[in-house]
Amino acid sequence: MAEILNPLTAPLPAEVPLSDAPLVRVIGQVRFPPVLSLEKREFIAPFQEAIRSTYPVLRPEQTQGIVLGPQGVAPGPKQIAWRFSDVDGGWRVSVTPEFVAIETTSYTSRGDFLKRLRFVLDAFAEHVEPALVLRLGVRYIDRVTGDALADISKLVRQEVLGIVALPFSENARHSLTETILALPESKEQLLARWGKVAAGATVDPNAIEPIAEPSWVLDVDMFCNEEHPFVPDEIVNTARRFAERLYTVFRWAVTDDFLRRYGGKP
């Protein structure tokens, strides 16, 4: 495999399917100007009917809203979140007055994920009719556990090992690196987190569930806060480009030993 020198500009590498991938969650989220009617059951009902054959389980939740301001993200008023999922619970669609999202713990391929995103966005555009996209984000989270954690120095490149590469790494309970990267000649950004997470801990309870053993996490999130019309075709095309760039970053971060460890053939 040719070495990827700069994952922000390198061409998309050939995909290596992993039969036992440590991918624990994939999320696609679209934020829009608040639609307060989405708090009402009668307003969300047509959207539910449009997706109910695929996501038949509905579990409403009260969540903490957020406010996007000059100083960044701040807590906002509590709001309802409509959670639609498939029967097995591996796929979930979330709707609040400020965003629509799809997430999965049962990811199989980029194509399948984007197809499902398109299905949700088409229904949302038809029945909710948001005018604008305020933010689009795509996020992939991998988690290394068990015997593989002891071999982490062989599974990821030296630049992302951090304290794990040091002789006293076994004494480190938690060590996380977080970097925000601006894509060249673009308003898009990429948030990369990687490092060791202690047993029972998490860096994001909404996306990374605590587990009873230590782990090493690679969490990459590409997003853009530029406003543009809510057009499902355009959103999905951008999400595809984000997913491809995130895969390039993933392939930069891991070694061929990682790919083989999880069932790939580099």
Mean pLDDT of 110-127: 98
Position 63 confidence tier, pLDDT thresholds 50, 70, 90: confident
Domain residue limits at 96: 29-132
Cβ contact 90:71 at 8 Å: no
Do residues 149 and 97 both lie within one domain?
A: no
Assigned domain for 70 exists: yes
The CATH number of whichever domain residue 107 belongs to comes to 3.30.310
Compute φ and ψ for 3, nearest 5 degrees: -70, 140
Do residues 170 and 210 both lie within one domain?
A: yes
Do residues 193 and 118 both lie within one domain?
A: no
Do residues 153 and 127 both lie within one domain?
A: no
Do residues 65 and 121 both lie within one domain?
A: yes
Give the pLDDT of residue 4: 85
Compute φ and ψ for 158, nearest 5 degrees: -55, -35
Do residues 74 and 159 both lie within one domain?
A: no
Is 70 exceeded by the pLDDT of residue 10?
A: yes
In terms of phi and psi (left: phi > 0; alpha: psi -120 to 50; beta: otherwise), the region of 30 is: beta
Mean pLDDT of 10-35: 96
Give the pLDDT of residue 199: 92
Do residues 155 and 239 both lie within one domain?
A: yes
Assigned domain for 247 exists: yes
Lowest mean per-residue pLDDT among 5-19, 58-72, 98-112, 196-210: 58-72
Position 68 confidence tier, pLDDT thresholds 50, 70, 90: low
Assigned domain for 195 exists: yes
Assigned domain for 14 exists: no
Question: CA-CA distance, 196 to 177, in Å (whole number)?
Answer: 9
Do residues 160 and 72 both lie within one domain?
A: no
Assigned domain for 117 exists: yes
Is 80 exceeded by the pLDDT of residue 64?
A: no
Mean pLDDT of 167-187: 83
Assigned domain for 23 exists: no
Do residues 154 and 189 both lie within one domain?
A: yes
Give the pLDDT of residue 175: 83
Do residues 143 and 253 both lie within one domain?
A: yes
pLDDT tens, 239-251? 999 999 999 999 9
Domain end (from 64, 99, 132)? 132
Do residues 118 and 141 both lie within one domain?
A: no
Do residues 169 and 153 both lie within one domain?
A: yes
Give the pLDDT of residue 58: 97
Domain end (from 109, 132, 155)? 132
pTM: 0.92
Domain end (from 88, 114, 132)? 132
Question: CA-CA distance, 108 to 45, in Å (whole number)?
Answer: 29
State how many domains the chain has. 2
Give the pLDDT of residue 79: 85
Tokens 């992302």 correspond to 160
Assigned domain for 236 exists: yes
Assigned domain for 228 exists: yes
